[in-house]
Every structure is written in C-alpha cells, then in structure tokens.
Structure 1
Amino acid sequence: MKKDFMSSMKEKTSTLRPSLLSTEENIKNQILVLDKLRDLIPPLANDEYDQLQQNILKHGVKDPLTVWETTPAAAQVDTDTSPLFVLIDGHNRYSICQQYKLDYRINLVRFSTLDEVKDYMIDYQLGRRNLTAEQTSYLRGLRYLQQKSMRGGNRAAENAQGDVAATLGKEYGVSSRTIKRDADFAAGLEKLAPDLKQDVLSGKKKLAKASINAIAKTEIAEPVQDADDLINGVSAPNVPGEKLSKAGEIKSKKSQILSLETTIRELASGKLNVQTCAQLIAKTDELQALLRAK
C-alpha cells in the first residue's frame, strides 16, 4: 500500500527544471506557510533541530521542499482564484533557509482539496522518520479523523467508521481498537492551545494519555492553555473512577454550553444543506438538554 501511495505521489509531483530558474525563484518568493498545515507535523526535539541546522549549514539542503500549487479558494484562505504556493513539507528546512538566507530546491505537487493535502502530509510523516510513540499515535489518529471527515457525518458514514479503523489497523499493524484510541488522543490534542500541543508532542510536557483522550469527549469553549487545567478541570469526568468537584462540574457544563452556542452560530451562518441541517438539529438538541439540566 505504501508503494502504491508513493507511486501516486510521483504522478502529482513535478520537479522544476533548471531552465525554469526564474519561475522557481518567483515561486519561492510567494511561498505561504499555513499554521493549520504546519501544526500537523510533530515538532523536532531541540537537539534534532540543532543537528538539522548544523547539517544544512555544512552541506546545504539536500532534499527539495514540497510546495502545493493551488489557489486561495482551494486552500480555504479566501475566495480568490489566483495562483497560490503553500509549503506542505520541509517546514524546518524552510525556517533555517530563511534565517540564514540559504538556497533550496522545490517540488510542486497538485491536489484538488485541502483534505487531500492533509491526508498526504499525515501519511508522509508516518513513513519518513523516527517518531515517538505519542507522535505515531497522534498521526494515526489524525489519519482516522481525516478519513472520517472526508466521509461526512451521515448515518451510513458512521456505520463505515469501523471499516476505516480496521483498514488503518491492518496498514499500521495494530488493532482497530488502537486506531480509535489514537483518534481520541489526536482529537484531545487538537483541543489544546498550539504551544501546549507542540510541547506535549515534543516531550517537553508530560501528560497522561488518558487525560488527553478524555478531553476529546468534553465540550470546551476555548483551547486548553495550561497543563494543570487539563489535569484538574477537564479530564476527570471521562476517566473511570474519578469524579469532578461540584465547582468543576459547573465549569464543565458552562464550557459545553458556550461551545455548543458557538458551533450552532457557525453552522447557521454558513451554507445550509442536508448535512449541516442535521448537525444543527443534533447540536440544538444537545444544547436544550444542557439548558434544561441547569
């Protein structure tokens, strides 16, 4: 499967030839880094980054940076349809090159949607370098969530989720149950503030995986900024054998209400179709239940 995946990627990739040097330089000047894509990549540890920097300063950048040739509309930046060049692989190398004004080569890739780009980035990271157990779990979980998102939120898609977990489990040599736990871990990490999430994935912050998995099932109004908040106020209701204090329960319920109100407003202000209407009904029912229980 990996071989097939990489073969398909070669078809999407075009290395810029030396004769197109002026075009390549023009593209380099327009490269855009999107936080939502950069943050999909587990961070390097400090010593790994330092070693990469030393290697680049000594030998230059050996591998090309991968750039998605697209439009702002396809990248979900705005509605413009002019050319856009988004960095999707080589963020650390790009940062070092920018800092020291070093040259590098680029490969252009073409995808139809942002979801396809995310799926590629996740799969590519899983196959290219040594990862910690937490980083591997996060990426496998993201892959599952991405596949789930691409299938949509209807009943038939929900029934097919088990097949997705089983398929990914076979691909990565783990059980479907492990894939679903990975998905909880990834969903929990996505509810952390970006800096805290990166600290957890890089190993700077040590948090129990059960605490992070638990937050995936908890409605929160805004990203968790502090590790202590996660341990003391959010994870406890979902960890077997633990209970929140009364104050913690009130805080959790308020957060759920605020989060639901925000989600409902966002859904109502967007384009309405069968899927979003179903989500609106479900979220409104959840909000009504919480408000009645106050």
Structure 2
Amino acid sequence: MLKLSSLKIDPEFSAQILPPSFQELQQLEMNMIRDGKLTDPIIVWHKTILDGHNRYNLLKKHSFIEYEIKEMELSSRQEALIWICNHQLGRRNLTPERRKYLIGKRYEAEKQISQNRGNQYTSTKKDGTDQNDPCQNKSGSHITRQRIAKETGTSEGYVQRAEKYMNGVEAADEAAPGTREEILNGKIKAADREICAIAKAPKEQRPEIVAELRKPKSERDKQLASSTKSPSVRVESFDDDGSRFLIGISKKVQGHKRALTESDQKALKKSVEAPADHSIHIAAIEGAYDAFIENWELTFREYPDLLTGPENWKQIEKYSDNLQRYLEFIRSKHLKMLESQRQGG
C-alpha cells in the first residue's frame, strides 16, 4: 500500500481541480475528524494525485485519520489529464467558464494522444512494419470533437472554441499567476474573444492585457474611451468611392505642441504607412466570430422553438440579412481599397 508521504502534487493536474470554498473545506475537515476516516479514497497515478488534493492536505494535518489510496492504470500523462477533466466535468457547481476550460483541456489532451499515435504510425511505416493508416490527423480531430461534444452535450464548434479559450486562460495565468482562477470563478468579467486573444498576443504584452481585464468593466470602458480620444496622427484615409487622399498631419504628437518640419512629416508618414502587425486585431475578429457562432448555437439549442415560430423567425431573418449586407459592404470596401492602392502606386 502506498504511503501518504510518497504522494506528489502536480501543478498542472491540481490546476484543473475546482477549489473548495472556505466553508466547504471547513466542513470536510470536520467530517474527517468526526468519522476518523476518509469516505472517498485519494486517487493517484504513478503516485501523483488525480483527485483528493484537499483530503491529502488535511490528512497531513490530522495523522490519526484512516485513508485509502486508489491507483489508476493510465498509459500517459494526457490520459491522466483527460480523467481529471472528465471527473471535474461531472460536478454540478461548475461555472460556464470553468466548464468550457475543462472541455478545452480535455480536447487538447486527446489531440496530443492522437498525434502521438500518428507519430508512432509514421515511424513504423518508415520501417516497413505497418502499411495501414489508422486515421488522418484532420479526420481524427473531427471525430474527437464530435465524440467530446456528444459526451458533454455541446457542439463540435463549441469544443474547438473551448480549446482556444483554454489556451487564452493559461496564457493569462502564465503572464500573471492567479488569473486562471479569477477567470474561471467569474471574478474577471471578459468576453470569450478577449480571453482567446491573450494567447495570440506577444508575451511581453500579456501582463498589461491581463491587468486591464482585472479592472471593473466600467473602468475598462472609460480607459478605452479616453484612449480613443487621445490625439493621433492620420496621414491616409479613404472617401466613399474608395479614392485615396491625404489629410493634414496633427501638430500634437505625444503631448508636445510644435510645428512639424518637412523632414518630420516625411519620417512620420513613412512610420504610419509601414506595415503593422495586426495579429492582436485578427485574433479579436476571430474571437468575435467564435463568440457569435457559439451564442447562436447555444441559443437555438436551448430554445429550438425560435426556429419554428413565425414572428421569431422573422426577427432572426432580419438580423441575418443585416449581417449579410455588412459582409458584402466589407468585401466591397476591400476591393475599392485594393483598386485605390493600385491607382496610387
């Protein structure tokens, strides 16, 4: 039998566990002292705790309490993570944020297992020992998403977006330890697209992004509003028909008022026209798209009568048509800007 002193806590494993409230932990300790034993075993894999972290810590405090340790037979670290995620997903008191995070974590682990199997297949095929392809990566991921969606009562798209959300949460926690729990318990109020975008932002910018998200929404909005009002320099713009024209350069740059010399204007124009890294903006657009699909899928799944009621459907069609018109407007604007650039070049 394994001894308590031989058990280990893995930070990644324990990060998937829903932490108890003070009252819950106090009640657990009182029950253990009253009964003199654990009612549930501590579950481990290779001496690493999968379930029972809180019981383990209390046992170290009260050595007289009887306990049981149950060992799981799992083939890899990824399988251990999948077991933890599934076990946690069975809890009833999960926030929507934590549930999404766990589904994303499970999907990531299952993909890694499939990828490892694919690498093994590639290796054996080179050796000439295996001629049958078990599954292609893309179709394998598709099947995995379908299975997880069915088991969790979600959709394939939701599972895919959950992984992006999980990556954003982990990137935030890496940038500012403790952020993971603030997001998952709902303390940090942020749209999914904002969380997803963190993982795609440069590492040096992530602490600043997290600090902004930690602010109350009202303060965040005020900060954003004030930043848009600060003086900016625009050299190039487009009129309604897509033709390019130059506009005046602001004389207020970085808080200093002075007349710009001709060399200043040339340098500033060159700087403004330089290609920008829009990875954060693309990530925000992608996040908005994901959130849009997710919200519609969840709404229609919870309220299927929206798709059958004539009045409801009329409203849905209205917004769908408006969306279609907006997309056509963006495409038209894109073509006009390309044509304008060709003419200007």
After TM superposition, is the score higher than 0.5? yes
Q: How does 1:110-121 map to 2 (within 5 A)?
A: 110-121=73-84
Task: Tell me the matched-pair count.
Answer: 203
> How much does 1:241 deviate?
10
Query: Given the alignment of the two structures, is residue 164 of structure 1 paired with residue 144 of structure 2, yes or no?
Result: yes
Q: Distance in 2 between matches of 1:184 and 1:230?
A: 18
* CA 47–86 in structure 1, closer or farther in 2 if over 3 Å, else same: same
CA positional deviation for 1:224: 4.2
State the AA in 2 paired with 1:202: N
| Most deviating of 157-166 and 134-143 | 157-166
1:44 lines up with 2:20 in the alignment: yes
Shift of 1:41: 1.8
Residues 95, 205 of structure 1: alpha-carbon distance in 2 compared, 3 angstrom cutoff: farther
TM-score when scaled to structure 2? 0.51
Residue 90 of structure 1, aligned match among 34, 52, 61: 52
After TM superposition, give the deviation of residue 148 of structure 1 in Å.
Answer: 1.3
User: What are structure 1's unaligned runs of at least 5 residues?
Assistant: 1-22, 71-84, 243-294
- Structure-1 residue corresponding to 2:160: 180
Q: 2: distance between equivalents of 1:223 and 1:147?
A: 27
Partner of residue 65, structure 1: 42
Q: Deviations over 1:56-83 (max 9, x none)?
A: 3444421010121x3xxxxxxxxxxxxx
Contact 1:211 1:239 in 2 (8 A): yes
The equivalent of 2:254 in structure 1 is none
Q: Does 1:138 align with 2:101?
A: yes
CA RMSD of aligned residues (A): 3.2
Distance in structure 2 (CA, Å) of the matches to 1:45 and 1:144: 28
User: Which AA in structure 1 matches 2:95?
Assistant: T
Instruction: Quote the residue 2:250 is aligned against.
Output: none
Describe the SS at the equivalent of 1:29.
Answer: helix
**Match for 2:72: what amino acid?**
V
CA separation of 1:97 and 1:200: change in aligned 2, threshold 3 A: farther
Does structure 2 retain, via aligned residues, the 8 Å contact 1:141–1:185?
yes
1:210 to 160, 169, 193: 193
The answer to whether structure 1 residue 201 and structure 2 residue 246 are counterparts is no
Q: Which runs of 4+ in 1 moved over 4 A?
A: 221-226, 229-237
The partner residue of 1:238 within 283, 289, 293 is 283
Aligned counterparts of 1:222 and 1:55: Cα–Cα separation in 2: 46
Percentage of identical aligned residues: 27
The verdict on how the C-alpha distance between 1:53 and 1:139 changes in structure 2, with shifts beyond 3 A counting, is: same
Larger-gyration structure (1/2)? 2
Contact (CA 8 Å) 2:41, 2:68: kept in 1 or not? Answer: yes
Q: Deviations over 1:140-163 (max 9, x none)?
A: 111111111222287931343222
- Larger relative CO (CA 8 A, sep 6+): 1 or 2? 1
SS at match of 2:102: helix
Task: Find the aligned partners of 1:64 and 1:158 in 2 and give their Cα distance.
Answer: 39
